[in-house]
Amino acid sequence: MEDTEVIKARLALNMIRTKKNEDDLEDCEPVSPVGRIFLKPLLNCYVICLFGCKEEINVQMLKKNVENSPLFKHKRFSSLVKEDSKGKLRWVPTKANIDDHIIIPEIDPTINKSLDFCDEYAAKLATAPPLDPSKPLWQLHVLNIKSAEAAATMILRAHHCLGDGMSLISLCFACAHKANDPKSLPTIPRPARRPTKHISLVSFMFLSFCRFILMMFYTFVDLLRLVATILNILKDSNTPIKGSTGVGYMPKRLAHVNFGLEDVKTIKNAVNGTVNDVFLGTLAAGLVRYLDRIYVSGGQTMPSNLLVRLLTPVNIRPTPGLQALKDMENEKGQCRWGNDLGLFIVSVPMDKYEDPLDYARAATAICNKKKSSLEMYICNLIKLLPGQIGEYVSSNLTGNTTLTFSNTVAPEEEVDFFGQRLTYIAPTTVGLPHSLAVYFMSYMGNVTLMVTAAKEVMPDPKQLCLDCLEALGYMKQAAIATSKRLTC
């Protein structure tokens, strides 16, 4: 691994200081506060997303489709990050060359191309040299190599300063259409609203008052924990999956597995929770299995009081519709764009439960408290902190927690993306000082679990995927058994 100071110096060179025409930069859009944080040496983050394709990719056709897409015409994807005379970073429009962004890697034909080759290639991109700052900060890599789920794979590598993960993925869907209807944009499912009960005014006011008291209480508790974490008072347990200083620059391993969304819904209904609650419960059960195996192999018993917390990013602003994103290429488009993120710090339930459903129940209870807290809005204020202070706070939040967790929803129907029908979508984020990132993406009735891990900390992230898959199976069996008992 490179020396930390060398890495910092190399990353610092990413920003080009303009010595001429500085006055022209004053009219350019400034980089958002969160975008500036993502450009800091300690938090130089990239979004990496794998798109599995049904058929081999025609590269020339792909280039043509990308050139005519909202993504290529998007202001952020056709701009450079430059520093003006006052030291402020701005988006400076430029003319993008499609050949600079569609990457066809030269792959040795004699090497063994395993079914996990695309994951291995993406892992190399995770710690590859920073993108050339003299060009817009994104690439689309094309691998015409068969994997377990696809005939070919496209891998998007985009700097996180271009936008938050949800915005970037949504922009990709704005470049797609329904496979069976080329004129229609994909449909992004929205969470169903629970039916409201008609109650009296007195009852409504009483319930509202109780919710307000709970919100203030949970917010106060979360604020205390947040401050303790920033000041290095509260730290996660030093488990085998907890990274050390510099873990963001360590070589990575990627792995993913797929499972049915219906299994998740079966568990969700059994615990009266949400899909996200089930994902968190599945991760918790998988981590318990994974860590227990490590402790037992070392002749120890897994401690019962482990503190393992995750950071989960939340969009503060509503995600724009796909049509609005598609219209952003036009001057009339009024869609807001950028990084406008809040954070939840969530404790993972690490107990050994006899009933598998207790993991989902515990996750539901935790998430319900978080929904009643203003923590994500408080964390969003970090972007207002000046340079080094903001970097220090962000670094401590990630350094004193264990992993990153996210759940993204994709279209329910099959989509055509740049002329390619997709079989799966697997996003992740790299560059944060976390040893582990876990992402769930639902698409076309299936869920892809993507695990990104520092190689030195978790040499085989596929094992964690399998542990989560096994835990999900036990939870489904318990949910079915519970349902049968209730109907008898």
Instruction: Give the whole-angstrom CA distance, residue 449 versus residue 183.
Output: 30
Calculate mean pLDDT across residues 133-157: 92
Q: How far is CA 109 from CA 105, 106, 124, 289, in A?
A: 12, 9, 18, 39
Residue 248 has pLDDT above 90, yes or no: no
Backbone angles phi, psi at 151, to 5 degrees: -85, -25
Residue 439 has pLDDT above 90, yes or no: yes
Smallest CA-to-CA distance from 474 within 304, 270, 239, 256 is with 270
Give SS3 for 256: strand
Per cent of the chain over pLDDT 90 is 48
Cβ neighbours for 68, distance < 8 A, ≥ 6 positions apart: none
Residue positions annotated with a catalytic role = 160
The pLDDT of residue 368: 92
Q: Biggest alpha carbon distance in the chain? A: 79
Instruction: Give the whole-angstrom CA distance, residue 209 versus residue 207.
Output: 5
Give SS3 for 396: helix
Name which of 98-107, 356-365, 374-383 the model is least confident about: 374-383
Smallest CA-to-CA distance from 90 within 166, 10, 16 is with 16
**pLDDT confidence band for 170 (50 / 70 / 90):** confident
Residue 247 has pLDDT above 90, yes or no: no
The pLDDT of residue 24: 63
The pLDDT of residue 363: 95
**pLDDT confidence band for 13 (50 / 70 / 90):** very low
Mean pLDDT estimate for the chain: 84
- The one-letter code for the residue type at 194 is R
Instruction: Give the whole-angstrom CA distance, residue 98 versus residue 102.
Output: 6
The pLDDT of residue 1: 43
Residue 298 has pLDDT above 50, yes or no: yes
The pLDDT of residue 261: 93
Beta strand pairing call for 436-443 and 403-409: parallel
Residue 37 has pLDDT above 80, yes or no: no
Name which of 84-98, 248-262, 321-335 the model is least confident about: 321-335
Q: How far is CA 126 from CA 40, 383, 436, in A?
A: 17, 25, 13
- Contact at 8 Å (CB) between 361 and 267? no
Smallest CA-to-CA distance from 313 within 277, 281, 339 is with 339
Backbone angles phi, psi at 460, to 5 degrees: -130, 80
The pLDDT of residue 463: 96
Residue 266 has pLDDT above 90, yes or no: yes
> Residue 281 is inside which H or E element, if any?
helix 275-297
Instruction: Give the whole-angstrom CA distance, residue 361 versus residue 202.
Output: 31
Most confident of the ranges 8-12, 44-48, 255-259: 255-259
Q: Which residue in the block uniquely carries the two structure tokens 């701009």?
A: 79
The pLDDT of residue 196: 62
The pLDDT of residue 315: 74
Instruction: Give the whole-angstrom CA distance, residue 315 versus residue 380.
Output: 10
User: Which one has a higher pLDDT value, 485 or 54?
Assistant: 54
- Contact at 8 Å (CB) between 290 and 464? yes
Instruction: Give the whole-angstrom CA distance, residue 433 versus residue 324.
Output: 34
- Contact at 8 Å (CB) between 138 and 131? yes
**pLDDT confidence band for 87 (50 / 70 / 90):** confident
- Contact at 8 Å (CB) between 272 and 397? no
Percent of residues in the chain assigned helix, strand, coil, to nearest 5: 40, 20, 35
Instruction: Give the whole-angstrom CA distance, residue 64 versus residue 57.
Output: 12
pLDDT tens figures, 323-378: 555 554 554 444 555 566 778 899 999 999 999 999 999 999 999 999 899 998 88
The pLDDT of residue 221: 94
342: which 2 tokens?
A: 């809040």
pLDDT tens figures, 199-209: 778 888 888 89
Residue 387 has pLDDT above 70, yes or no: no
CB atoms within 10 A of CB 113: 16
Residue 181 DSSP class: B
Calculate mean pLDDT across residues 452-469: 94
Calculate mean pLDDT across residues 74-81: 88
The pLDDT of residue 185: 85
Calculate mean pLDDT across residues 85-93: 84
Q: How far is CA 425 from CA 51, 410, 415, 436, 485, in A?
A: 5, 8, 11, 19, 37
Instruction: Give the whole-angstrom CA distance, residue 41 versus residue 13.
Output: 10
